[in-house]
Homo-oligomer: A and B are copies of this chain.
Amino acid sequence: MSQPATGQIKLNAYMSGSGVQGDSWRHPEVDVDAYRNFERYRDIAAALERGRFHSIFFYDNVYADIDALPFHTISPRWDPLVLLSALAVTTRHLGLIGTTSTTYSEPYNVARRFASLDHLSGGRAGWNVVTSTAGGENFNLDAHPDHAERYRRAHEFFDVVTGLWDTWADDAVVADKATGQWVDRAKVRTLDHAGEFFRVRGPLNAARPPQGWPVIAQAGSSESGKDLAARVGEVLFTAETELEHAQAFRADVRARADRIGRNPNHINILPGVSPIVGRTQAEAEDKYGELLRYRDRNATLQALAAYASLGVDLAGLPLDALVPLPDKVAETNSHKSRQALILDYIRKHRPTVAQLYSRFTIGGHRILVGTPESIADDFEHWFTNGASDGFTIMFPSAPGGVNDFVDLVVPELQRRRLFRTEYTGRTFRENLGLPHRPNRHFV
């Protein structure tokens, strides 16, 4: 099942609600006003379209960690659909992927919001389905629901949302001024869903989205996450640092899809990667050095220890100390796959604290410091060896980091015919090579 990806590389741009990853806001080129200034995103999106990116992707969460605020830009965050609705007006081709939590939203509202974004953008909406890593304290709960419950709810939530999109046939609106008929009653139906978490009658108060369904993105990599991804995911944002592991993950998800009768080629696995691009290797290393100057190493080490539930104060150890092998690892209720990834790396490589930090300074994603050629070599190697269908680019800074990639790496990929030179489709689905989504009730 480790089948090489066919066609060309797909590129997705990861964006946080404050414009950059982690501490990069201290970089001289970054506008610290991005948390409240839309123009920064408008300019980035324009650059991404110039670079023929398939999509822009906004991660999200529904809480603010008050103790992390003083030094981290993780909050404030824009509401992803507010930002994407604005970007729908300033772009023409870019897919617009917004994260919405299945744990902390109501499916009727979510279905309509994404249907509206799909209409607004002429069929370019995408929904990143997440169960969230925290937030119960802001939604009437004592605690974040456990992993199993969140995923049961996510499956049902997904069924309700997509079921609501299907309550209208594509051609339900007749709008015949002569007869006064607005809608063909035979082409709209109720949903009548009654499940463990939701009772939703429908129909939705929005016409069927132009794409049938907006593109479904997914990021979970735990066992439950892989099952959900195999069942519903069309764009998967994953964290993979080793080629062999990425190949195995891709083969696994494709096999799961195949077993439930889904076409594995409809799943685009796009691992995160953070490229630091220079015209020479030395220039790239210099840029990386400058970026690292603005990182808060201790905070990153503390976050890594927390992600992996190591139970060790990494920030308190000397940089050249070996990371101690954890003997007993606490069960985690979120970031299950991230925990496994970090523990796996520690057991396999026995790194020093400095090495662990350097490897995982962008949350477990690969950092490629190199020339357009060396980065294209890496992409080609992963792509042709069935480790991915493309990449989710996590720009280290903006706008320079975006422009570097678009102006230097994209042309190199195009020269190798690994990446398209023009948008070929009208909708996001068409640009991904995915079919219009059929309706379960209406032909």
Q: Give A contacts to B, CB under 8 Å.
A: 23, 25-26, 28, 32-33, 35-38, 42, 61-64, 66, 69-73, 75-79, 81-83, 85-86, 88-90, 104-106, 108-109, 112-113, 115-117, 119-120, 135, 137-141, 168, 173, 175, 177, 180-185, 188-190, 197-207, 210, 294, 296
Contacts and interface: CB of A to CB of B under 8 A. Distances in A.
B139 A77 contact: no
Given A81-B81, A173-B76, A106 B108 contact: no
A64 B204 CA distance: 6
Given A82-B85, A86-B88, A113-B82, A108 B62 contact: yes
Given A76-B204, A105-B106, 18 more contacts: A36-B210, A38-B119, A66-B190, A70-B181, A70-B183, A71-B182, A72-B182, A73-B182, A75-B206, A79-B116, A79-B206, A86-B88, A86-B89, A137-B199, A137-B201, A138-B202, A140-B198, A180-B294
Nearest to A101: B109
Nearest to A37: B119
Contacts of A139: 106, 108, 200
A305 to B, nearest CB: 20
Nearest to A191: B138
Given A182-B72, A185-B69, A190-B66, A177 B26 contact: yes
Nearest to A28: B177
A292 to B, nearest CB: 13
A177 B32 contact: yes
Given A64-B203, A66-B188, A188-B66, A175 B25 contact: yes
Contacts of A294: 177, 180
Contacts of A175: 25, 32-33
A120 B38 contact: yes
A77 B185 CA distance: 17
B117 A82 contact: yes
15 contacts: A26-B180, A32-B175, A36-B210, A38-B119, A38-B120, A69-B183, A76-B168, A76-B206, A77-B206, A81-B81, A82-B85, A86-B120, A104-B106, A138-B201, A138-B202
Contacts of A189: 66
Contacts of A26: 177, 180
Given A89-B89, A173-B35, A206-B78, A184 B112 contact: no
How many copies of this chain sit in the oligomeric assembly? 2
Contacts of A33: 175
B25 A182 contact: yes
A183 B76 CA distance: 10
Contacts of A185: 66, 69-70
A225 to B, nearest CB: 23
A64 B198 contact: no
A152 to B, nearest CB: 15
Nearest to A209: B36
B206 A70 contact: no
A342 to B, nearest CB: 25
Contacts of A104: 106, 108-109
A106 B204 CA distance: 19
A142 to B, nearest CB: 8
A180 B82 contact: no
Contacts of A105: 106, 109
A282 to B, nearest CB: 25
Contacts of A198: 140
Nearest to A208: B76
A267 to B, nearest CB: 28
A78 B25 contact: no
Contacts of A188: 64, 66, 69
A183 B323 CA distance: 31
A316 to B, nearest CB: 20
Contact of A76 (B62, B90, B207): B207
